[in-house]
Amino acid sequence: MDNLILALGWAGLYGPMALGAIGSMIGCSLAGQAAAGALLETETGHGRYIGISAMPSSQSIYGIVVMFALNRELTLGNAPGLAAIGLLCGLALMFSAIYQGRSCASAINVSKIRPEIFGMSLAPAAIVEGFAVFAFIFALVISAGVPA
């Protein structure tokens, strides 16, 4: 049982980084595929499509920061707390990256048709990013309460 609790603690430590990276891979891939299609259809503005497709990569960075904030010597006392914070934060980062990728793909699709709405079409992706920031900040705040 002790080993299981410690294993969960380790999963909580590495979870934000791993799950955030998985989300970023999927999100960037979806948005990147949409950007590649838009390149075929447009004459200009290629750079911004590729730029948008990198938006879901920020979740990986948040994951790394949370991982470092949680990093401490694992004990049976702090492992459950680390597991709860790390895994939940990781899941939040993963889903936000996937859905941000979808939002970016839609933004690319519509701004390809009407380039003048490019900025506005990015609003949904920015809102999703906001939720990822919430998960990130409060994971940092709450990690201070986990015993060292």
Positions in the binding site for another protein (CB under 8 A):
30, 33-38, 40-41, 102, 105-106, 108-109, 112-113
| Nearer to another protein (CB atom), residue 102 or residue 135 | 102
Q: Residue 104 Cβ, how far from another protein at the closest point, in Å? A: 10
Smaller CB separation from another protein, 41 or 73: 41
Q: 7: which 2 tokens?
A: 């294993």
> Please, where are the H alpha helices in 42-78?
46-53, 58-70
| Distance from C-alpha of 11 to C-alpha of 3, rounded to nearest angstrom | 12
Q: Cα–Cα distance between 106 and 121 in angstroms, integer?
A: 8
Contact by Cβ (8 Å): 52, 106: no
CB of 106 to another protein, least distance (A): 6
Q: How far is the CB of 43 from another protein (least distance, A)?
A: 12
CB closer to another protein, 89 vs 108: 108
